[in-house]
Amino acid sequence: MTDLSSNIILVILVTSFATYLSRFLGVVSSEKMDIRSKIFKWFNCIAYAILAALIARMVVFPSGVLSESPLIIRLLVILFSIAIFLLAKKNLVYPTVLSAILLTLLNNYL
Amino acid sequence: MVSSKYFFQGLQSLKRRDSPAIALACSFIAIGALLKNIGFNIQQSFLSTFLTYALPGQLVMAESFLIGTSLINIFLAVWLVNARLYPMTVSLMPLLKEKTQPKWKYYLSCHLLSVSSWLIMKDQYQKVEQKHRIDFWIGIGTGTWTTAIISTLVGYLLSDYLNKDMMIGLAIVNPVYFMCMMIGAMNNKHVSLSIIFGAILGPLFFIVSPEWSILYGGILGGTLAFFIGGDK
């Protein structure tokens, strides 16, 4: 038992270190960066594109429980939520709450 | 020290209409339940979100722990999946730079950088004077981080009551939140093109190389957007 739990702590520390490393290196390399420089603009584009890639992957090829709902239903829920977001003048409470309810309903009754 | 006026202004972002609190809570409740199911105790679950605070990394950790891979493999898998934090940090910190502010603020507060806090800060930074942006940022980061930690504990405690339907419902909230925030951020050509290219290329590269798809899709998509978007 103690073996397993000291193992878990090590796993947590390794995970946290691997994660903090990217944040830390980000601060180091941005230290002298000018926000009007080309390189800053390039990094900005990459940051947005990487996030979009991550989110699109979460919807199209999800890991975990989400993969148990059909792709077409996931896409429908996303499109519906975006429509609500735009209709509700960019309020984020409605689309997020409704998306969970809608997905559960469609998943069970369709 | 941190100016409390700007810190609390940042913290207030949890109460606004684009608050990340609901989406963060849903996904970290799911993480808390998952950690309990794979055999973590409540202190370990707390520690995981407290120290890592990055959802995809914690998921990879949980998967690797279950199949029992070596620590070095866990390190590499987590580093790869969380490498997005590097360009995110680089594209945020220069906006918060101020010579009179001590460096430790930047090195400590980068731990609070997550997709939620980043999207909010990118949306809000122009409303705060350069000098006070770092304190405002620490407020936003502390708010989202604390929400994630509390939600992990709630998820851990509720795990017996969460059935599969509820877990699936919880899992869609985060992508929906991020997707809406990104659409809200599409107010210039560079950002819009980056988001569109990334969203197309990410899943495409996944078919070829699941582990590298996000980095490949992001770097290629962002670079294309940078050149096509022109000089403005």
Residue B146 has pLDDT above 90, yes or no: yes
Give the pLDDT band (50/70/90) at residue B230: confident
Name which of A42-51, B13-22, B118-127 the model is least confident about.
B13-22
Q: Write the ipTM.
A: 0.93
Residue B225 has pLDDT above 50, yes or no: yes
Which residues 48-67 on chain B approach chain A with CB closer than 8 angstroms?
A: 48, 51-54, 56-61, 63-65
Rounded distance between C-alpha atoms, residue B169 and residue B178, angstroms: 16
Q: What is the pLDDT of residues B96-109, one digit of tens each?
A: 999 999 999 999 99
A71 touches chain B (CB under 8 A): no
B42-51 and B21-37 helices, crossing angle to 10°:
130
Which residues 151-210 on chain B approach chain A with CB closer than 8 angstroms?
A: 164-185, 190-191, 193-203, 205-206, 210
Start-end of H helices in chain A: 2-30, 38-60, 71-87, 93-109
Mean pLDDT, residues B74-81: 95
Q: What b/e string do you get for B144-167 counting C-beta neighbours within 10 Å, with b at 16 or more? A: bbbbbbbbbbebbeebeebeebbb
Residue A110 has pLDDT above 60, yes or no: yes
**Cα-Cα end-to-end distance for chain B:** 37
Q: For residue A1, what pLDDT is reported?
A: 44
What is this structure's pTM? 0.93
B29 touches chain A (CB under 8 A): no
Residue A97: list chain B partners with CB under 8 A.
22, 173
Residue whose tokens read 């990094």: A43
Rounded distance between C-alpha atoms, residue A57 and residue A39, angstroms: 27
Nearest residue of chain A to residue B197 (CA atoms): A49
Give the residue among B216, B174, B178, B210 at the shortest CA–CA distance from B197.
B216
Give the residue among B218, B219, B21, B6 at the shortest CA–CA distance from B120.
B21
Residue B75: list chain A partners with CB under 8 A.
14-15, 17-18
Q: Tokens standing for B74?
A: 């866990």
Q: What is the pLDDT of residues B189-213, one digit of tens each?
A: 999 999 999 999 999 999 999 989 9
A94 touches chain B (CB under 8 A): no
Minimum-distance CB partner of A58 among B169, B175, B185 = B175
Residue B2 has pLDDT above 90, yes or no: no
Chain A interface disruption, residue of B90, B111, B188, B195, most A CBs within 10 A: B90
Give the pLDDT band (50/70/90) at residue B232: low
Q: For residue A3, what pLDDT is reported?
A: 60
Q: Kindly give, in sequence order, each residue whose CB lies less than 8 Å from that of residue A89, ignoring residues fewer than 6 positions away.
A: none
Mean pLDDT, residues A46-62: 95
